[in-house]
Amino acid sequence: MWWQYILVFLGALVFDIVPFPFPPAFTIMVFFQILFRLDVWLVIVVGVAGSVLGRYIVLLYAPLLAKKYLKVSKNKDIQFLGDKMRENKWKGQMVVLGYSLLPLPTTPIF
């Protein structure tokens, strides 16, 4: 039964790592929860952990993709937003934490 929760973790991780528009991670979490009749709260905890790790991995490689595929003006806009978030670290961190807890897809932001 524990392997099913690993599938939930990996599913949420993969859904948030892909660099193109993809359904939000909660869709795969709900799918596995219904398919295997898993405990809802454990699915939430495991799925959110996978989702947050996936979003962190995207955070690491997003600048490389941005430099390669985005226009210079868009990169400047993103840099400006990052600078604003760094001015008040606590507010920036709270925005990132709040967004990571929402069931929204990450790909459009990155």
Q: What is the pLDDT, as a whole number, of residue 59?
A: 82
Query: What's this model's pTM, rounded to 2 decimal places?
Result: 0.73
Q: Is the pLDDT of residue 18 over 70?
A: yes
C-alpha angle 13/101/76, rounded to 5°? 80
Residue 5's pLDDT band, with cuts at 50, 70 and 90, is very high
Q: Mean of the per-residue pLDDT values for the chain?
A: 87
The b/e string for 66-77 (b: 16+ C-beta within 10 A; e otherwise) is eeeeeeeeeeee
In the three-class reduction of DSSP (H, G, I as helix; E, B as strand; rest coil), residue 22 is classed as coil
Dihedral, CA atoms, 63, 96, 54, 62, nearest 10 degrees?
-10
pLDDT tens for residues 36-89? 999 999 999 999 999 989 988 988 888 888 888 888 888 888 888 888 888 888
